[in-house]
Chains A and B, each alone.
Chain A
Amino acid sequence: MIDGKTLRVAVIGAGPAGMYAVEHLLQEAEFRCEVDLYERLPTPYGLVRAGVAPDHPDKKRIGDRLFSYILESPRVRFIGNLEVGTHVRHAELADWYHAVIYSVGAGSDIRMGVPGEELSGCHAAREFVAWYNGHPDYSHLAFDLSCERAVVVGNGNVALDVARILTMPVAELEKTDIADYALQALRNSAIKEVVLLGRRGHFQGAFHNPELEELERLADVDIVIDSEDLPGENEVVLDDADWETRRKVKTLARLSRRPLTGAPRRIVLRFLTSPVELLGDQKVEQMLVVENHLERGDDGVLRARPTEKESLIDTGLVLRAIGYRGYPFPGLPFDDQRGVIDNRDGRVVEGDLPVPGVYVTGWIKRGPRGVIGSNKKCARDTVRCLLKDARDGHLSPAALNADQVLSELAGRNPALLGLEGWRNIDRGERLAGAHQGRPRIKYTDTETLLRSAAAPAG
């Protein structure tokens, strides 16, 4: 049996939220935490692998410099290619472990809610990102890059990532770990212009400063900014804005003054513009947009309100990038308003009552906001709740020990893989990349991933 100072914990989802949860569990001194880290893909690290843009290798270093060491701990077992909800039910995990932490992220996204959204050629930017990053669930998708103009709805960091990938010289991408098929598709791309639509003004852009400033350094791409309202009629004067916003507006002003060079491709940042309807026969051909103005609500927040001024944009590819959204998880209460598993400070709640021993962290706890490190504090707070509950005697005993859990799981899915499997994939991808001067060449389908997991490369 397990002594009173050992806690067996299951963490579901090996993205940054899950990795940070494991880190905090391992740092705990009062209890000895043993963690099983479940991941439905054969590969860990979630959006660090399948979300972070391929031209941002610096951010991906967190895999090698932090997450890798966490996986290496003798108190952690990576259980990959096994899906909770399919191979094993939540109720079973709740029984097998002292506690279960869900860090499953936000698997869906917010729709525009305009007519024509279902036309072919209109996709979630989330899917496009997963596709170019070689996520095995999205590698079969096809994006029509035969048109000259793409429209991205939204202007957050995802929108800017997508715009860069669609316009930057392919030679730059050839140095990255972008999926091979995406590289090929981008080589044949006819896209010359990417238009980003922001529903509010220049002062309310959702992008961060580093992503915006990158546009100034993008080779062979002109940046076009509708500068009428910069800083003009925008209601908020420059001095009134917070420091980070002032820096962004200064960058926008600098970009808008830059002479166009006649570069082969361009990115257009349009503000105060919203989609109204997508038009086309079977396939997107045009987008009807409306110009907005800003109204300050009683709560002080500036909101976009449509004017009468509508116009048409010719486009064959529309990517919506207006926010991620969590999916309900079978067996757990869901807050449909916020798109998160219903929780208070990371404790899953059913109505007003905590569900003992069940916790959430990351986007499925607080909504899809923040940067990678935001998940560290988020996980810290969840783990604190878990440990307090352990101390207060609110956790029921774990019904199975580590060996029993593993043999049960292996019976459910003989293709599950452990850390060595992921190490084999990792080595294989890096070796393949080394031959071409790239960080790695990703395996992008489950069959190849599992085959390479089983056979050490070298």
Chain B
Amino acid sequence: MAYVIAAPCVADYSCVEICPVNCISPGPDDGDFEAAEQMYIDPDTCIDCAACVQVCPVLAIYKAEHLPEQWQHYQQINREYFQQAAPVEVRR
């Protein structure tokens, strides 16, 4: 079922550092880190070990089926992050 990072995420990337299968992005040295609103978990790679849950300083990470009502859509958002086309030029 995979774990999901929800709205409280503050982009403290302790989860990226501890993940044994590197399924959390962006990491601090990725190009989109600076502008990222949060980190995301790739549900197709996540092995459900829950290591990230413990290290998250704001408890933003939930097992998908335990997501609070208001953050149900974050399951889809985490998945979508990894489905984006290669980031094109960012316009702001």
Chain A residues near B (Cβ < 8 Å):
56, 58-59, 61-62, 65-66, 204, 208-210, 213, 217, 236, 240-244, 247, 300-302, 369-374, 376-377, 380
Please determine whether A62 and B91 come into contact, CB atoms closer than 8 angstroms. Answer: no
Task: Give CA–CA (A373, B81) in the complex, Å.
Answer: 19
Cα of A267 to Cα of B41 in the assembled complex, Å: 33
B49 CB to nearest A CB, Å = 19
| 24 A-B contacts (beta carbon < 8 Å) | A56-B8, A58-B7, A58-B58, A58-B59, A59-B10, A61-B59, A62-B57, A62-B58, A66-B57, A210-B38, A236-B91, A241-B91, A242-B87, A242-B88, A244-B37, A247-B77, A300-B91, A302-B91, A371-B38, A372-B10, A372-B12, A373-B11, A373-B12, A374-B11
Decide: B34 and A65 in contact? CB cutoff 8 A: no
Nearest residue (CB) in B for A370 is B34
Kindly provide the distance from the CB of A57 to the nearest chain B CB, expressed in whole angstroms.
Answer: 9
Docked-complex contact B84 and A243, CB < 8 angstroms: yes
> Taking CB as reference atom, which chain A residue is nearest B56?
A65
Contact of B34 among A58, A209, A374 (CB under 8 A): A374
B77 contacts A301, CB within 8 Å? no
Give the residues in chain B near A65, CB-CB below 8 Å: 56-59
Q: How far is the CA of A241 from the CA of B91 in the complex (A)?
A: 7
- Give, as a whole number of angstroms, the nearest-CB distance from A142 to chain B: 32
Closest to A377 in B: B28
Q: State which size class the interface on B falls in.
A: 20 to 34
Main secondary structure of the interface of A (DSSP, over half): helix
Inter-chain contacts of B33 with A (CB < 8 A): 377
For residue B34, which residues in chain A have a CB less than 8 angstroms away from its CB? 369-370, 374
Contact code string B1-35 (vs A, CB < 8 Å = 1, else 0): 00000011111110000000000000010000110
Given contacts A58-B8, A61-B59, A300-B91, A243 and B13 within 8 Å (CB-CB): no
Closest to B37 in A: A208
Known: A58-B8, A59-B58, A242-B90. A376 touches B37 (CB 8 A): no
Residues of B near A62 (CB, < 8 A) are: 10, 12, 57-58
